[in-house]
Amino acid sequence: MLKAEAYGLGAARAATALAQAGARVFFTATLGEALSVRQALGDGPQILVLNGPSENDVALFTPARIAPVLNSLAQIKLWDGRGPAALHIDTGMNRLGIGPEELAQAASLLKGSSLVSVMSHLACGGDLGHAFNETQRVRFVDAASLFPNAPLSLAATAGALMGPSFHFDLIRPGIGLYGSGGLDAGNPTLAAAAKIEAPILQVRDAAAGETFGYGAAFTAPRPMRTATVAIGYADGFLRALGQRGYGFFAGAKRPILGRISMDLTIVDVTGCAEAQPGAMVEFLGPNAPLDEVAQLAGTAPYEILTTFAGTVRRGGAA
C-alpha cells in the first residue's frame, strides 16, 4: 500500500524497496500517485488505484498499464472493459464499493471482463475480536461468489493478523509496512520504518518557578536544565503532544515542557551533560515507537506518519 506517499515515507523509495523484497502488487489512492509509482518501478509490477477512474482521467489508465478499482456502477460503466480492473464490494464500511443491492447488476455489467481482484475492507479491523469482522467476511464470501474466477482480497494489516480465513488470495498491508500493527490495542512490536530527529538549538538553566513557552503552560517545580529543539507543529509534530510526549536523547525519554510551538519544542534535559547545541533528539523511531507516539497524541499511527513523517520529509526540517 503506497497511498499518501507511502504513509509519508516517500512512495518512490518505498515502492523500490518493496519491489526488491518481492512485492508485485501495489495500491495507491489516486491515479497521480500511481503514475509516479509506475515511473519508479518501470514495467512489471501491477498497480491499482483505489479511488477508481473519473471522466477526467479514465483514458490515462491503460497507456500506463494501471488498473482501477471499480467502486460503483457508474465507474464500471465508465471503464467499459478498457482493460484489467478490480472490483470493490462494500460489506459494511459504507464508504466506497458496490452495495448489496447493486451486486447482480455489477455482475451483469462485468460479464466477460478481466477482474484482477474482488476486494472489500474491514471496518473494525483494529479490534481483532470484534464480531463485525466475521460478519463482513461471510458477506464478502457470499458476494464474491458472483465473480468465481477472480482472486479475492479482504485483509489489510489488521486483517492479516486475524489468520488464514481472512487472507484469501491477496493481503494488502499498509501501516504494518511502516511500523504499526494497526490495532486499537495490543499491537505487535514491529521494526521502525522511519526515524525523525531534530537538533538542539539552545540549552539553558532555569530556576524553580520559571515558566516555559506560550501561555506559560509549564512551571518548573525545581531547578531544571532545558533544551530547545528545532521541531514543531509546522513540521507535523502534533501540538497535542505538548506536555504529553517526549524526545529520546542520551539513553532516556526527555519530557516535553509546555506547548509545542510552530518551529520549536522544549524538552527536559536535567542532569544530562550530553545536551549541547547541535546534538540530535529523536522524536520518532526505534526509541520513540510509532504506536506509543500516536497513543500519547490521542490519535492513530496513520495520522502521525502522514502528517509528521510526511511533512518533515518534504520540508527537510528534521
- Which residues are annotated as catalytic? 3, 214
What residues are paired with 86 via a beta bridge? 69, 117
Determine the Cα–Cα distance for residues 6 and 128; give it in Å rounded to an integer.
24
| DSSP helix/strand/coil, 46 | strand
Q: How far is CA 250 from CA 200, 272, 282, in A?
A: 13, 8, 10
What residues are paired with 87 via a beta bridge? 70, 118
Q: How far is CA 83 from CA 67, 76, 114, 123, 234, in A?
A: 7, 11, 7, 29, 43
Name the nearest CA neighbour of 301 among 147, 144, 183, 146: 183
| DSSP helix/strand/coil, 68 | strand
**Residue ranges with strand state E in 94-223:** 115-119, 152-153, 196-206, 211-212, 218-219
Determine the Cα–Cα distance for residues 100 and 6; give it in Å rounded to an integer.
31
Measured CA angle at 263 (ends 216, 217), to 5 deg: 15
| DSSP helix/strand/coil, 93 | coil
Task: Name the one residue in this structure whose C-alpha cell is 513557552.
Answer: 213
Residue type at 83 in one-letter notation: G
Q: How far is CA 25 from CA 101, 110, 288, in A?
A: 30, 22, 31
Determine the Cα–Cα distance for residues 245 and 236; give it in Å rounded to an integer.
14
Residue type at 87 in one-letter notation: L
